[in-house]
Amino acid sequence: SSHLPRSPHVFPQHRLGVREPRDMQREIREVLGLPGRPRSRAPLATAQQPASAPLFMLNLYHAMTDDSGNGPPQPHLHRADLIMSFVNIVEHDRTLGYQEPHWKEFHFDLTQIPAGEAVTAAEFRIYKEPSTHPPNTTLHISMFEVVQERSNRESDLFFLDLQTLRSGDEGWLVLDITAASDRWLLNHNKDLGLRLYVETEDGHSLDPGLAGLLGQTAPRSRQPFMVGFFKASQSPVRAPR
């Protein structure tokens, strides 16, 4: 090995130029998956009211970092290494003044889901207040994915989940939308549309708002949102530098 070329095994040290730290930081943030440019915060007044999705995600963060295991059980948490919450960008209602059935629709922009992530679970969370329309009644709440919207007839829908509760119940209603993830992974650029119906025991369609289900006009801490639990594929390939 004595005839090997001299290999300088001490790399030259140099101080970073003015621009370099910023470029390095941008590159490091990309590697960590943090957004490159500073996020523009909502107007101060609104930003100070706690919003539902960040509150929920902060609880998940504490559950993920709490080694004592005392916190409330989080079923999907420990199988995922990436959890994303989405606030809905558009909300449609077909309620009073239309022929039945009434429904409420929520659209989500999923373009920020990184490539190479497998969905382990997905939930739609909506807050229900006690309702007296009609009082003390059993309500069936069903959730569908809007697969294809049609201008001249009803959209193509895909059934996701059904929950039964009482009209006087209050709290967060969690609907399982994992079945919709097959399609959204194939086509990130298309918004995910979720449609919600409420029916009484005798099959009468009810306006979701009258049934106590809150939409985008609710206080920020009770607005609906969606959560996706992801597992990175085993060999994430990093883009060459």
Q: Which positions touch other proteins (CB under 8 A)?
A: 1-2, 4, 6-7, 9-10, 21, 25, 29, 32-35, 37-39, 41-42, 53-54, 57-58, 60-61, 64-65, 80-87, 109, 111-112
Whether the bond between 101 and the residue before it is cis, its omega within 30 degrees of 0, is yes
Nearer to other proteins, 3 or 153 (CB): 3
| Contact indicator for 184, 110 with CB cutoff of 8 Å | yes
Pick from 92, 104, 94, 102: nearest CA to 195: 104
Closest approach of other proteins to the CB of residue 121, in Å: 14
Beta bridge mates, 93: 104
Nearer to other proteins, 87 or 118 (CB): 87
Nearer to other proteins, 19 or 150 (CB): 19
Length of the chain: 241
Residue 57, token pair as written in the block: 């995600």
Closest approach of other proteins to the CB of residue 213, in Å: 22
Nearer to other proteins, 111 or 152 (CB): 111
DSSP β-ladder status, 171-176 and 156-166: unpaired
Nearer to other proteins, 3 or 241 (CB): 3
| Contact indicator for 217, 209 with CB cutoff of 8 Å | no
Closest approach of other proteins to the CB of residue 209, in Å: 25
Closest approach of other proteins to the CB of residue 9, in Å: 3
Pick from 37, 168, 155, 28: nearest CA to 101: 155
Task: Give, in order, the Cα–Cα distances in Å from 104 to each of 151, 209, 230.
Answer: 17, 8, 27
Closest approach of other proteins to the CB of residue 214, in Å: 19
Nearer to other proteins, 86 or 127 (CB): 86
Distance separating the N- and C-terminal Cα atoms of the chain: 33
Closest approach of other proteins to the CB of residue 63, in Å: 10
